[in-house]
Amino acid sequence: MPKILKQKSIFKSKLFDIKQADIEFNGITMKYEIISGTGSGAVMVVPFIENDIIFIKEYAAAIDDYMITFPKGKIDKGETIEEAANRELQEEVGYKSKEIKLIKKLYLAPGYIDHMTYVMVAKELSVSSLRGDEPEELEVIRVHRDDVINFLDKNEIIDSRVHAALNIIENHE
């Protein structure tokens, strides 16, 4: 196992903490830059209504364009992942779930970012809204399970975690 010789924060903002680390592998020392989140990770919720899956279309600031994604957001202090998932679901698509469960912890790109996303599946939905911090109403798109491949092919910009979540779900449901 490599050994972290030293690690220090070189930048901190509201969302990110950039660290520099010296890591030793059998006598060779390498320098790394690492992005740490400042919170407890995020949830991403895949909502099912019978055989339909609910997607959202949301503005993605880093690429200044709209992306296809699932309801998701940071876990607030003191929240369980189930509570965070049910809150995001109500804020972003206007449903709550009576059957919400963790499918897998997703490590975004662990070589350089420690961001963790908890992929949840939500079923048994009923109409319920909460006011979130979204600056505009999100477009909610309901797609039959059999049409998902076509739907994703027709959209150029898709959050990579949508593909990852679908891969995990397809292999476990």
Listed in sequence order, the residues at least 6 apart from 76 whose beta carbon sits closer than 8 Å to its beta carbon are 84, 87
Considering the complex, state which of residue 130 and residue 157 has its C-beta at the smaller distance from a copy of itself: 157
* Nearest CA among 42, 79, 73, 84 for reference residue 138: 73
Which residues in this chain contact a copy of itself in the complex, by CB under 8 A? Answer: 2, 4, 10-11, 13-16, 18, 20-21, 23, 25-26, 28, 30, 32-36, 58-65, 67, 69, 106-115, 117, 135-136, 149, 152, 157-161, 163-168, 170-171
Q: How far is the CB of 54 from a copy of itself (least distance, A)?
A: 18
> Which helix (H) or strand (E) element contains residue 173?
none
Considering the complex, state which of residue 25 and residue 99 has its C-beta at the smaller distance from a copy of itself: 25
Considering the complex, state which of residue 13 and residue 126 has its C-beta at the smaller distance from a copy of itself: 13
Q: How far is the CB of 166 from a copy of itself (least distance, A)?
A: 5
* Nearest CA among 102, 96, 100, 101 for reference residue 125: 96
Q: Which tokens is 169 given?
A: 């779900």
Q: Which tokens is 84 given?
A: 């965070």
Considering the complex, state which of residue 68 and residue 125 has its C-beta at the smaller distance from a copy of itself: 68
Q: How far is the CB of 20 from a copy of itself (least distance, A)?
A: 8
Q: How far is the CB of 109 from a copy of itself (least distance, A)?
A: 6
**Is residue 51 exposed (0-12), middle (13-18) or buried (19+ Cβ within 10 Å)?**
exposed
